[in-house]
Structure 1
Amino acid sequence: MTSLIILILLVAGIVFVTARWKVSPFLALTGAALLGAFAFRLPLGEIVPTVTTAFGGTLGNIGLVILFGTMIGMILERSGAAIAMAEALIRVLGTRFPNLTMSIIGWIVSIPVFCDSGYVILNSLRKAVTLRTGVSALATSIALMTGLYATHTLVPPTPGPLAAAENIGVADNLGLIIAVGAPVSAVAALAGLAYARLFARKEFTPLPAESEEDISTQTYEELRASYGRLPNAFHAFLPILLPLALICASSIVQLPARPIGEGTAFDAVTFLGTPLIALILGLLVAVTLLRGGDRLALFHEQVHESIRVAAPILLITGAGAAFGAVLAASPLTGFLSDHLTGLGIGLAVPFLIAAALKTAQGSSTVSIVSTSALVAPMLAALGLGSPEGMVLTVLAIGAGAMVVSHANDSYFWVVSQISRIPVPTAYRTLTVATAVEGAAAFAAVQVLGFVLL
């Protein structure tokens, strides 16, 4: 019982210092790891090695993967490829179903691009579709927001799911996470879409634009023109589809049946499907999207910006792993094993923890990293120690990390302010939408759990 009390105090401390005092999650998690090591009475000689080994090992395994994934997303964002993808989908889907169109566009774009950035990029397109179809701006805002959110928390190579996979111990099976996470995220996006349809004719008084430079004042035509000539659709999609296809192919050839044997072809597909190699190849394709006089200078600029964006995520991921390693080395593991085995609550544990952390401190990524580090030592006790159980745990955590987006979440403010939705209206619509979406995602994960576990 003492171990459980210590855990509760550590988690409460992380939430308090990050939400109330705005302390960096990296420092909060590192401090929790060190304080926890003392509180759990780990031998003094083992504290520093436990923390540093977990920190370094995690960054060694997925640090470059996160960085290259961020680079791809940054280039897609800055080259106009995201707009090109959106336009290609509109040509296929038309504007007859604007909410569905925005949901699908968000679902695809957010695989490599952070949902915050994705919304900023696509907002002008959303406004153009809204004006063309006469549907409520509130509905298209919810559809785009939830579409982006679905893959942001559930489908690698987005950093959150990548970090969770590493902490849980299933980073070598990203193909399965992608294969299962994609339909789960589709269920979540469809739930958000169904909720958005409730507001198809709901009007609201928009907030005034904060400044003339606000992206919300820019027309879609002006935004499109700012990118110059857009890449063709196939070229725009390729940096996303190539790594995903290679990673999934690698997982398929490694199935116990060995569909292509174990010769040279097997080695080649396995190597190319290694997440790091697959993303490097995706980056090489993405670089060809850059246009301008000095392509090399543009590439260097995107690399520097990507490092700036990825650095906090890498540090948080490493610190979360260190915190998890301390918990794994503590008496907590034995206590939880003794008390959780017979409860049969399984996947609800990571979902509820992630949802509580998300709601309390706002960041989905911090919620995913912290929860995955927290539950990793107790997977066997929860009946989730199999590869399938680990994959579903990653997805349950991602589902929890959607619940709920409100005032302490930067994404809430990005969507509400750029779409000029008054805060009371945003609480009644956007916040509820993320609760609906997260619950639907977990329901899908739970159904898969009944089938696979």
Structure 2
Amino acid sequence: MSLVLILVALIAFIVITTTRLKLHPFLALLLAAFLAGFAYQVPVSDITKTLTAGFGSILGYIGIVIALGTIIGVILERSGAAITMAETVIRLLGERFPTLTLSIIGYLVSIPVFCDSGYVILNSLKNALAARMRVSLVSMSVALATGLYATHTFVPPTPGPIAAAGNLGLDAQLGLVIAVGLVVSFVTAMAGLWWANRFLNKDIALVDDGTPMPAAEDFAALRARYGTLPSAFQAFAPIFVPILLICLGSVAAFPGRPFGEGMALTVFGFIGQPVPALLVGLALACTLLKGSNKRQEFQERVTEGILAAAPILLITGAGGAFGAVLKVTPLGDYLGSTLSALGIGLFMPFLVAAALKTAQGSTTVALVTTSALVAPLLGQLGLDSEIGRVLTVMAIGAGAMTVSHANDSFFWVVTQFSRMSVATAYRAQTLATLVQGLVGMATVWLLSLILL
């Protein structure tokens, strides 16, 4: 029992230091790793060695993927590719189903672009559609936010799911994580859409901040600021070509060898690895550069991407260090035998991630920390197979979106840009993420009945 109490104390330490004391999650996780080593009586000479090995092993492979994915996202964001994606979806779906259109736009844009940035970029489009279609701005805001939130939480190359996959030993199986993540995130996006439609015809008072309510002309002005927008192929290719290559690489590695044993296997086996695939995506993203000095512009975008990726890399590495220390303690065997007797399986990582997310606000921190905690327990929980690990990533993702409220930066981005009062945002956005998390976990559980 003392082993569990130590673990609870460590989680409480992470939550309190990151929320009350405003300590950066990197330092909180690093200190927690040291405390875990001492509390679980790991030999003092082994603590630092174990911690640094865990930090390096997770970043040795996943770090490059996170950095490349972030750089691609910055280029897409700065080039107006998100606007092109939005307009393409509108052309395909028309304007008959405005909330569905925005939900799908968010679902696609947030694969490479952070949900916070994606919301800011698409805010004018959302306002323009709401004004044109004469529908509730609250409903449109929640549809866009939940669409963005779904793929942000479940689908690589977003850093959170990549880090969780790395912690659970799925470095070489990101294609499978992406494939399952796209399914689970689509279901959760539709759950968010269902909640958004509850406000579709309701007249909800918005906060008056003294500026005029955005209209269709504001989106036209935003569009004009980007100059000539990229084509639909240019906008979507840097996202979907790497995803396709990674999936093909996973297919090539199937035991049945669908591409044979010759050159095709070698080519797809190499280019389908995440790092080469994302390098191809980066090369395609370079076609979006349109300044007179493309070399200088590329340099600036790479620098922006590295700066944006740096805190995520440190948090991911610290999570790996924390997990490595926990792996050498007796906690895994004890918890594994206890939890396997309870038979809660995938619900255990979901509940831990949900508790962390609700307490400290960051989806990425919840994904990284929970995956580090759960990694030593997979065998005892009956989740040590390849598909078991993938479903564990999904269960953690479902927990890591439950719920977004006042301690989450995304909550405030949605609230402020949508002019919702805090009370309205809790009813609309926070409860939407609760619905998404519960539906996401139900989807993962149903998949486990079929696949495990």
1:188-213 per-residue CA deviation (whole Å, 9 max, x = no partner) reads 0000011111110112222234779x
Alpha-carbon deviation of 1:141? 0.4
When the two structures are superposed, what TM-score results if normalisation uses the length of structure 2? 0.98
What is the letter of the counterpart of residue 189 of structure 1? A
What residue is the counterpart of 2:393 in the other structure?
394
Alpha-carbon deviation of 1:287? 1.0
**How high is the sequence identity, in percent, across the aligned residues?**
57
What residue is the counterpart of 1:85 in the other structure?
85
What residue is the counterpart of 1:407 in the other structure?
406
What residue is the counterpart of 2:239 in the other structure?
240
CA distance in 2, matches of 1:111, 1:215: 27
What residue is the counterpart of 2:285 in the other structure?
286
CA distance in 2, matches of 1:140, 1:335: 47
What is the letter of the counterpart of residue 93 of structure 2? L
What is the letter of the counterpart of residue 388 of structure 1? I
CA distance in 2, matches of 1:218, 1:275: 41
1:2-39 per-residue CA deviation (whole Å, 9 max, x = no partner) reads 11111110000100110111100000000000011011
Cα 1:207/1:51, change in 2 over 3 Å: same
What residue is the counterpart of 1:349 in the other structure?
348
SS of the residue 1:346 aligns to = coil
Cα 1:16/1:211, change in 2 over 3 Å: farther
Cα 1:217/1:33, change in 2 over 3 Å: farther
CA distance in 2, matches of 1:292, 1:176: 37
Alpha-carbon deviation of 1:297? 1.3
1:132-162 per-residue CA deviation (whole Å, 9 max, x = no partner) reads 1111001110100000000000011100000
CA distance in 1, matches of 2:193, 2:159: 24
Cα 1:377/1:210, change in 2 over 3 Å: farther
Aligned length: 452
Alpha-carbon deviation of 1:216? 9.8
CA distance in 2, matches of 1:263, 1:121: 45
Equivalent residue runs for 1:294-309 within 5 Å: 294-309=293-308
- Bigger drift between 155-164 and 197-206 goes to 197-206
Alpha-carbon deviation of 1:337? 2.3
Contact 1:106 1:118 in 2 (8 A): yes
CA distance in 1, matches of 2:16, 2:451: 37
Structure 1 residue ranges (4+ consecutive) displaced by more than 4 angstroms after TM superposition: 214-218
CA distance in 2, matches of 1:395, 1:432: 20
Contact 1:106 1:147 in 2 (8 A): yes
Contact 2:120 2:417 in 1 (8 A): yes
1:378-437 per-residue CA deviation (whole Å, 9 max, x = no partner) reads 111111111110000000001111100000000000001011111111011110000001
What residue is the counterpart of 2:166 in the other structure?
166
What is the letter of the counterpart of residue 387 of structure 1? E
CA distance in 2, matches of 1:67, 1:34: 27
Cα 1:302/1:448, change in 2 over 3 Å: same
RMSD: 1.4
- Structure 1, unaligned stretches of length 5 or more? none
- Structure 2, unaligned stretches of length 5 or more? none
When the two structures are superposed, what TM-score results if normalisation uses the length of structure 1? 0.98
Contact 2:132 2:216 in 1 (8 A): no
What residue is the counterpart of 2:379 in the other structure?
380
